[in-house]
């Protein structure tokens, strides 16, 4: 019963968010979004734990309205001023294919849009509301999927902040520069005194947990809007030791709700046995009924799978279940 209530709450939250996202039609061209406006400074950024996007290269930019700043007093869920715009351009073979826009409207709602570049890479036009599929020879499999506006809500709608990747942990090495630039206000002083990072037993574990944070935490977290599972993969900088312990406890030795074999008692992560860990099975699968993340990728991230397999097989081989 609890899981159904959780699903209902999650669905209702997405419906509300979807109504907000449909409030206004996005600009018809990328130029109209201010992407090419040299008079409005855009800050490039790169999260240290990026989201896997089938091997696409990505360039990210953020622009704030003049005289505004991001409220970072909650270090794990920044509050962005109205008028904030973020762009992310996906390229394959050196050619821009798509640019996604996230913009906070005057009423506080967030708008999502995708723009498809022309063959010469000179301009981009608004993609259809339900997305489209492009022929891109340099992309894996020769095709590229542009998401629909509703698809954006699957990741952004239930996250602690609708903006993914521009946050304290993801930008830890740049926090002081952002404060000095005047882009952040209210950031707890201790995060400037000591650069925030994931609490982990080894560099391999830190990289593994960071990969899960960057790719999965927008759904699997402990706050409102999360998917109705006890799996928590979000790393919080406000209390990294407690946060990391919660993450490990939620998956290491924890029973998986998805059971590949009805006769077996599958676990999300089995210390010392990557092959038996449901986490890797779901990340590797491209069966839409099984794969995780469920959207945004058609090809498994082999490098991430190798990292996680090493962590589970080696680092966790003598791990005591929390």
Place of tokens 């894996």: 140
- Please state, for a pLDDT cut of 90, what percent of the chain lies above it: 79
pLDDT over threshold 80, residue 12: no
Q: What is the DSSP letter of 312?
A: I
pLDDT at position 21 over 60? no
pLDDT number for residue 309: 98
DSSP helix/strand/coil, 59: strand
In this model, does residue 20 exceed pLDDT 80?
Answer: no
* Domain edges within the chain: 2-185, 197-315
- Which pLDDT does position 157 carry in this prediction? 84
Phi, psi of 255 (to 5 degrees): -65, 135
pLDDT score of 118 more than 60: yes
pLDDT of 153: 83
Question: Which tens digit of pLDDT belongs to each residue from 137-148?
Answer: 999 999 999 999
- Using the predicted structure, report yes or no on whether residue 9 has a pLDDT greater than 50: no
Top mean pLDDT of 15-29, 179-193, 219-233 is at 179-193
CA distances 131 to 38, 139, 152, Å, are 29, 17, 10
User: pLDDT > 70: what percent of the chain?
Assistant: 91
Instruction: Identify the pLDDT of residue 154.
Output: 81
Average pLDDT rounded to a whole number, residues 169-182 = 96
Return the minimum-mean-pLDDT range out of 54-58, 106-110, 266-270, 313-317. 313-317
Q: Which residue has the higher pLDDT, 41 or 28?
A: 28
**Per-residue model confidence (pLDDT) at position 227:** 85
pLDDT tens across 212-239, in order? 999 999 999 988 878 888 899 999 999 9
| Rounded Cα distance, 75 and 54, in Å | 29
Mean pLDDT of 159-168: 92
Q: What is the rounded CA–CA span in Å between residue 80 and residue 77?
A: 9
Q: Residue 149, Cβ neighbours under 10 Å: how many?
A: 20
C-beta of residue 199 within 8 angstroms of C-beta of residue 243: yes
pLDDT value at 322 more than 50? no
Residue 268 to residues 28, 210, 276: CA-CA distances in angstroms?
44, 17, 9
Whole-number pLDDT of residue 80: 98
């Amino acid at each position: 019963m609890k899981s159904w209530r959780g699903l209902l709450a999650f669905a209702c939250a997405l419906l509300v968010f979807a109504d907000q996202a449909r409030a206004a039609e996005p600009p018809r061209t990328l130029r109209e979004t201010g992407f090419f406006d040299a008079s409005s400074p855009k800050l490039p950024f790169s999260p240290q734990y990026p989201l896997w996007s089938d091997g696409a290269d990505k360039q990210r930019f953020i622009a704030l309205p003049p005289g505004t700043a991001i409220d970072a007093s909650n270090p794990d869920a920044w509050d962005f001023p109205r008028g904030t715009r973020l762009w992310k351009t996906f390229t394959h073979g050196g050619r821009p294919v798509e640019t996604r826009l996230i913009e906070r409207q005057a009423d506080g709602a967030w708008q999502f849009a995708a723009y498809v570049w022309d063959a010469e890479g000179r301009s981009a036009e608004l993609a259809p509301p339900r997305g489209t599929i492009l022929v891109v020879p340099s992309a894996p499999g020769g095709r590229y999927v542009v998401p629909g506006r509703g698809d954006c809500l699957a990741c952004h709608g239930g996250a602690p902040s609708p903006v993914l990747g521009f946050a304290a942990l993801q930008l830890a090495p740049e926090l002081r520069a952002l404060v000095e630039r005047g882009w952040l206000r209210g950031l707890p002083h201790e995060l400037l005194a000591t650069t925030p990072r994931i609490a982990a037993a080894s560099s391999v574990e830190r990289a593994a947990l960071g990969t899960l944070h960057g790719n999965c935490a927008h759904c699997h977290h402990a706050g409102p809007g999360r998917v109705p599972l006890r799996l928590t993969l979000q790393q919080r900088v406000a209390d990294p030791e407690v946060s990391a312990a919660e993450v490990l406890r939620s998956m290491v030795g924890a029973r998986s709700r998805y059971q590949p074999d009805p006769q077996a008692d599958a676990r999300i992560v089995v210390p010392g046995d990557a092959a038996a860990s449901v986490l890797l099975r779901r990340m590797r699968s491209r069966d839409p009924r099984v794969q995780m993340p469920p959207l945004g990728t058609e090809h498994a991230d082999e490098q991430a799978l190798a990292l996680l397999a090493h962590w589970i097989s080696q680092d966790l081989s003598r791990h005591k279940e929390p």
